[in-house]
Amino acid sequence: MIFEKLGVFYLGRPYDLENKKPQEGYILYDSKDLTTHAVCVGMTGSGKTGLCINLLEEAAIDHIPSIVIDPKGDMANLLLTFPELKKEDFLPWINESDASKKGMDPKAYAAQQAELWKNGLASWGQDGQRIAMLKQNADFAVYTPGSSAGIPVSVLRSFDAPEQALIADDELLRERINTTVSSLLGLLGITADPIQSREHILLSSIFHSHWIAGKNLDLSSLIHEIQTPPFKQVGVMELEVFYPAQDRLSLSMKLNNLLAAPSFSSWMEGQALDIKNILYTPEGRPRVAIFSIAHLNDAERMFFVSLLLNHIVGWMRSQSGTTSLRALVYMDEIFGFFPPVANPPSKLPLLTLLKQARAYGVGVVLATQNPVDLDYKGLSNAGTWWIGRLQTERDKARVLEGLEGAASTSGSNFNRQRMEQTLAGLSSRIFLMHNVHDDEATIFETRWAMSYLRGPLTRQQIKVLMDPIKSMSGAGMPLQESAPAKASSSTVSSPQRTVMKSDLPQWFIPVRNQPMPGQSLQYQPHLLINGKVPLASEKYQIHSSRTIHHLVPIQNTPLPFQWDDAFICSIEAEKLEKNPVPSAVFSEVPSLVAQGSSLTTLKKDATQWLYESQHITLWKSPSTKAVSSPEEEEKDFRLRISQSLREQRDEALEKLRKKYAPKKLSLEERLRKSQQVVEREKEQVKHQAMQTAISVGATILGGVLGRRSISTSGIGRATTTARNASRTMKETQDVGRAKESFEQVKKQLQELEASFEQDMQSLMHQMDSMNEELEKQLVKPKKTDISIQLLALCWVPYWTDSNGKAAPAY
């Protein structure tokens, strides 16, 4: 189908409400329009989730990632996609109670469902191949915070200092702190007023002092900080007067109990809330990330959703601006998270998203069965409304009010009575689309969903669904730390340091933190390399130099230097100490190092290692000729290229609109004219002629140009001219032209369509580079340019327990 790569989303087909009949053609929604956000309302069963699943499917096909918040459990249906549409595929996922209600055994019911889906898709011009494409273009995963059924999410890591872009923005930082603290207190059962409550003020001050310094917090350090905060004053008041130590202790006990609760451990393991890694796989493939929160209680849901939204805001702010859609944030059933009057922690970040996301190409889509649940400010910010069947008069009145308001801001006229009638006529899967970018509202029927809409999945079913994916892709694995400082417990340690024959200087990393009960201090030997590696390339205009400050673990093995495990030393050379902490023990330095290794040979080895390990990897896109910048990862480069390709495509689409819309309009006018003539002459052909005229308008061309608001997209003048021209023609021009044969104009319209398709094909071809193989180019150093300023034996302190488990002590 040609609409696949247009940047338009195939949502359904036009629907004739009066005659209760679907019409020919497509409802193609411009993906760009989603950057002004959308709201989907309708009573239970009206087809909201189906419509929004369609939207997410279309986005995935277009390589656009989504974050889906799923309070009810329906959204994991996005993983039930079966390109072969076999009954065996459906069998494990059918709703058994539905089967028994119909008196069918599961197998027969599965066969029936498979048939239903196949036929359903076919009647909308879709097939297994399209499902295969959907699966290929994106990765699908279910995340389950507080549970390991899907991919668990570690929320402790979420107290990490936000991105620099967010810290730099005072207001955003305050918002972030506010929401984090409110939701954390909510989890403790404390509903706190950010301005009045001393709990809120204290925690906010602690978060602020850490984050502003770029320091991370976790729950255990927070417990500690509550008791001994890094400040003595709050506002103008003494800390001890404002919030005495005794009372602070009871707050920290509450947090400690939370930490100690067995159920809480599931909140601490899993993937960090790192939005970039959630939205894209390591290879840069977009992901539809479904956060299933049905199993959580209200406080936990609020806590998690607020944190997640906060992180989305932070990630978003670190992106470059764009005019095209970059990512979607969808919330199925917004109830309670975005209320009109109250101010739960989730509301602030949602409002921020609605206000700011447009500039970053992030589209927010909110669904609710109850329009009264939605904050009015939020509603008026949404550019698209999908309105399905509504239940109560109050709901209808609310929606009408909103539509009327939107119409008056945009200056278009609004016929309340007609709209009321329309809303009353809507039925299941029939929606009214109000899009500020379109000239008029559209009634349409939602297309058949590719995903098998079996209804809510249980946690157990999510587990069955996700287990194979977790083991295959490693999506569930927590990401590796950049500097895994591991302690080796295999080496012998003693209170005495190995005597060194070599002329290597020795330094100690200062001990920074306190031991847990039962831990003692152990120093482990590392080779410290400090130097510079210049990296230059005339061809790629690169003149850079890398500062090396690395630690290479030394172990008692035949090859003592663990070059492959080298990591960046986080302590500056000036802060290294000359002496160890008293009463610590030392791991043994292998004799090969202690006896042999002169400074000269070590320098040679280190230079060789730097020569082999230090280079700049550049990525080149053969089709666009673009080259990544130094230090840009393949994934980021790919994302950057595809976003700019998407912008180009959207621009090209806009150009096509400008080119074709006036031509189409004037041809249609002529068609209508000649039709009138034909009608007058031959009454009996009338019916057939009408039919033809409709089906010509119902093509892809029609779908793409359809209801577009030409005045906003800049074709305004051209079309008005065309309109006027044909109107003038109608009144004054010769009858000869009016007699132009109906067939002839129809043919011209078909030719226009063909030429449009051709233009479209070349556009699609350009977009193929989204998936292309990138070429890798290395910029290597010259050996003679590498300089080493310091080589030393560096002792790294660890806290070890009796089981030999070690944790960094710096």
Ligand X SMILES: Nc1ncnc2c1ncn2[C@@H]1O[C@H](COP(=O)(O)OP(=O)(O)O)[C@@H](O)[C@H]1O
DSSP state string for 413-472 = ---HHHHHHHHHH--TTEEEEEETTBSS-EEEEEPPPSS----PPPHHHHHHHHHHHHHH
Regarding 381 and contact with Mg ion (CB under 5 A), the answer is: no
Q: How far is the CB of 49 from Mg ion (least distance, A)?
A: 3
| Residue type, position 107, single letter | K
Please name which of 535, 563, 522 lies closest in space to residue 795, comparing C-alpha atoms.
522
d(CA 454, CA 183): 33
Q: How far is the CB of 69 from ligand X (least distance, A)?
A: 14
Question: Whose CB is nearest to ligand X?
Answer: 50
Regarding 13 and contact with ligand X (CB under 6 A), the answer is: no
Please name which of 187, 114, 134, 127 lies closest in space to residue 156, comparing C-alpha atoms.
187
Regarding 370 and contact with Mg ion (CB under 5 A), the answer is: no
Question: Which is nearer to ligand X, 45 or 808 (by Cβ)?
Answer: 45
Angle between helices 48-61 and 128-137 (to 10 degrees): 70
Regarding 371 and contact with ligand X (CB under 6 A), the answer is: no
Question: Which is nearer to ligand X, 85 or 203 (by Cβ)?
Answer: 85
**Interface size with ligand X, residues (CB under 6 A):** 16
Please name which of 122, 123, 264, 120 lies closest in space to residue 187, comparing C-alpha atoms.
264
Question: Which is nearer to Mg ion, 292 or 310 (by Cβ)?
Answer: 292
Question: Which is nearer to ligand X, 176 or 389 (by Cβ)?
Answer: 389
**Angle (nearest 5°) at CA 455 between 450 and 459:** 115
Query: What is the SS3 assignment for 771-797?
Result: HCCCEEEEECCCHHHCEEEEEEEEEEE
Binding mask 427-466 for ligand X (x = CB under 6 A): --x----------------x-xx---x-x-----------
Q: Are 16 and 426 in contact (CB under 8 A)?
A: no
Task: Give me 427's structure tokens.
Answer: 């039925």
Residues 6+ apart with CB under 8 A from 236: none
Q: How far is the CB of 511 from ligand X (least distance, A)?
A: 57
Question: Which is nearer to Mg ion, 77 or 158 (by Cβ)?
Answer: 77
Residues 6+ apart with CB under 8 A from 533: 545, 546, 548, 610, 614, 781, 785, 786
Question: Which is nearer to ligand X, 85 or 705 (by Cβ)?
Answer: 85
Of residues 94-153, which lie at the interface with ligand X (CB under 6 A)?
120
d(CA 713, CA 323): 14
Q: How far is the CB of 334 from ligand X (least distance, A)?
A: 12
Q: How far is the CB of 430 from Mg ion (least distance, A)?
A: 16
Q: How far is the CB of 59 from Mg ion (least distance, A)?
A: 18
Question: Which is nearer to ligand X, 116 or 223 (by Cβ)?
Answer: 116
Q: How far is the CB of 47 from ligand X (least distance, A)?
A: 4
d(CA 341, CA 271): 34
Q: Which helix (H) or strand (E) holds 111?
A: helix 106-122
| Residue type, position 221, single letter | S
d(CA 496, CA 239): 46
Regarding 49 and contact with Mg ion (CB under 5 A), the answer is: yes
Q: How far is the CB of 6 from ligand X (least distance, A)?
A: 20
Span of 47-55, 251-259, 487-495, 501-509 interacting with Mg ion by CB under 5 A: 47-55
Q: Are 300 and 187 in contact (CB under 8 A)?
A: yes
Question: Which is nearer to ligand X, 42 or 349 (by Cβ)?
Answer: 42
Q: How far is the CB of 389 from ligand X (least distance, A)?
A: 9
Q: How far is the CB of 48 from Mg ion (least distance, A)?
A: 5
Q: How many CA atoms lie within 13 A of 494 on its CB side?
A: 7
Of residues 546-565, which lie at the interface with ligand X (CB under 6 A)?
none
Q: From ligand X, Mg ion, none, which one binds at residue 353 (CB under 5 to 8 Å depending on kind)? A: none
Q: From ligand X, Mg ion, none, which one binds at residue 47 (CB under 5 to 8 Å depending on kind)? A: ligand X
Question: Whose CB is nearest to Mg ion?
Answer: 49
Residues 6+ apart with CB under 8 A from 619: 627, 628, 632, 634, 637, 638, 774, 775, 776, 777
Question: Which is nearer to ligand X, 125 or 534 (by Cβ)?
Answer: 125
Span of 48-56, 84-92, 113-121, 553-561 interacting with Mg ion by CB under 5 A: 48-56
Question: Which is nearer to ligand X, 202 or 449 (by Cβ)?
Answer: 449
Of residues 23-62, which lie at the interface with ligand X (CB under 6 A)?
42, 44-50, 54
Please name which of 567, 407, 552, 419 lies closest in space to residue 480, comparing C-alpha atoms.
567
Question: Which is nearer to ligand X, 46 or 352 (by Cβ)?
Answer: 46
d(CA 689, CA 529): 84
Question: Which is nearer to ligand X, 374 or 618 (by Cβ)?
Answer: 374
Q: How far is the CB of 74 from Mg ion (least distance, A)?
A: 5
Q: How far is the CB of 316 from ligand X (least distance, A)?
A: 27
Please name which of 249, 245, 185, 241 lies closest in space to residue 223, comparing C-alpha atoms.
249
What number of other Cβ atoms are within 10 A of residue 367's Cβ? 21
Residues 6+ apart with CB under 8 A from 352: 172, 175, 313
Please name which of 122, 144, 194, 492 lies closest in space to residue 295, comparing C-alpha atoms.
144
Span of 43-51, 200-208, 514-522, 672-680 interacting with Mg ion by CB under 5 A: 43-51
Question: Which is nearer to ligand X, 98 or 503 (by Cβ)?
Answer: 98
Question: Which is nearer to ligand X, 48 or 317 (by Cβ)?
Answer: 48
Question: Which is nearer to Mg ion, 50 or 345 (by Cβ)?
Answer: 50
Q: How far is the CB of 110 from ligand X (least distance, A)?
A: 15
Length of the chain equals: 810
Q: How far is the CB of 702 from ligand X (least distance, A)?
A: 22
Regarding 180 and contact with ligand X (CB under 6 A), the answer is: no
Q: How far is the CB of 97 from ligand X (least distance, A)?
A: 14
d(CA 238, CA 785): 57
Of residues 383-402, which lie at the interface with Mg ion (CB under 5 A)?
none
Task: Give me 311's structure tokens.
Answer: 């992180």
Contacts 24+ apart (CB under 8 A), 674-677: 674/738, 674/739, 674/740, 674/741, 674/742, 674/744, 674/745, 675/742, 676/738, 677/738, 677/739, 677/742
Q: From ligand X, Mg ion, none, which one binds at residue 409 (CB under 5 to 8 Å depending on kind)? A: none
Q: How far is the CB of 448 from ligand X (least distance, A)?
A: 4
Q: From ligand X, Mg ion, none, which one binds at residue 312 (CB under 5 to 8 Å depending on kind)? A: none
Question: Which is nearer to ligand X, 95 or 356 (by Cβ)?
Answer: 95
| Residue type, position 646, single letter | R
**Interface size with Mg ion, residues (CB under 5 A):** 1
Helix count (H) and strand count (E) of the chain?
27, 26
Q: How far is the CB of 52 from Mg ion (least distance, A)?
A: 8
Span of 46-54, 100-108, 172-180, 320-328 interacting with Mg ion by CB under 5 A: 46-54
Only one residue has tokens 């007058």, namely 680
Q: From ligand X, Mg ion, none, which one binds at residue 453 (CB under 5 to 8 Å depending on kind)? A: ligand X
Regarding 381 and contact with ligand X (CB under 6 A), the answer is: no
Question: Which is nearer to ligand X, 120 or 534 (by Cβ)?
Answer: 120
Binding site residues, ligand X, CB under 6 A: 42, 44-50, 54, 120, 429, 446, 448-449, 453, 455
Binding site residues, Mg ion, CB under 5 A: 49
